[in-house]
């Protein structure tokens, strides 16, 4: 049986991601095993890798600064399918305004910027709540991505919870955005075998399960 390594960096909702992957695999009759692991060796030999995360960039960056981070880079370099969720997207970049001086994985040039509190929705005039938390619709860019098409494509509602947004140096990495008041949030990035979403597929009901099934099929 093929294995998906769900990287345990000491943060995030690991069990809910594991259950969602197992559910997506079972529903699609794909036969994948999802294993939560903090072991770099287990990550390095997995058939696919998921890095979830919900919390502080500081904690995630520190957890991935050693062997775990090297195992992830090795897997990405060899072409293993990779999915980063929430902080798992943000840590793909070199830095974040949330934790100056701490480095992410640096797989893509760029940083993560704070969604400033106190801003108002230009349409309604109402104060925009930060964190960006709840359901929001996807706006596809550059043709989107097959995983997003499987989830429902343009306009699909998915679940977000975050206060920072990735800002890649290369904007062609962005395959989906979401509007949150005056902010255009990076909702998903992709290149080659790497896909990552700021939204949580494990909290996005049928759309999220369909996306995870597409990842497992890839």
Q: What is the pLDDT along the chain (218 residues), one digit of tens a residue?
A: 799 999 999 887 899 999 999 999 999 999 999 999 999 999 999 999 999 988 889 999 999 999 999 999 999 999 999 999 999 999 999 999 999 999 999 999 999 999 998 898 888 888 899 999 999 999 999 989 999 999 999 999 999 999 999 999 999 999 999 999 999 999 999 999 999 999 999 999 999 999 999 999 99
Active site residue 60: no
Choose, from 60, 98, 132, 202, the residue flagged as catalytic: 202
Task: Give the contacts of 214 (CB within 8 A, at least 6 positions apart).
Answer: 146, 147, 149, 150, 151
Choose, from 60, 86, 145, 162, the residue flagged as catalytic: 86
Model confidence, pTM: 0.96
Strands annotated E in 78-198: 82-85, 110-114, 132-137, 139-140, 157-162, 164-168, 174-180, 183-191, 194-197
> Beta strand pairing status for 174-180 and 164-168?
unpaired
Q: Which CATH architecture has domain 3-217?
A: 3-Layer(aba) Sandwich (3.40)
Active site residue 97: no
Task: Look at residues 52, 89, 88, 57 and name the one whose alpha carbon lies nearest to residue 185.
Answer: 89
Active site residue 162: no
Dist CA 91 CA 32 (whole Å) = 26
């Amino acid at each position: 049986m093929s294995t998906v390594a769900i990287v345990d960096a000491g943060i995030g909702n690991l069990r809910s991601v594991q259950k969602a992957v197992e559910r997506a695999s079972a529903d699609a009759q794909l036969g994948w095993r999802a294993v939560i692991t903090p072991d770099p060796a287990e990550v390095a030999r997995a058939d696919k890798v998921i890095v979830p995360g919900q919390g502080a960039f500081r904690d995630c960056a520190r957890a991935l600064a050693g062997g775990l981070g090297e195992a992830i880079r090795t897997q990405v370099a060899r072409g293993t399918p990779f999915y980063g969720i929430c902080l798992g997207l943000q840590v793909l970049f070199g830095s974040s305004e949330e934790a100056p001086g701490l480095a992410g994985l640096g797989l893509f040039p760029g940083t993560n910027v704070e969604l400033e509190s106190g801003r108002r929705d230009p349409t309604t005039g109402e104060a925009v709540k930060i964190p960006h938390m709840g359901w929001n619709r996807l706006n596809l860019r550059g043709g989107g991505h097959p995983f997003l098409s499987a989830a429902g494509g343009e306009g699909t509602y998915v679940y977000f919870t975050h206060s920072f947004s990735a800002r890649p140096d290369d904007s062609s990495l962005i395959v989906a955005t979401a509007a949150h008041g005056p902010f255009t949030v990076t909702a998903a990035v992709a290149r080659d075998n790497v896909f990552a979403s700021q939204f949580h597929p494990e909290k996005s009901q049928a759309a999220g399960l369909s996306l995870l099934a597409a990842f497992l099929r890839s």
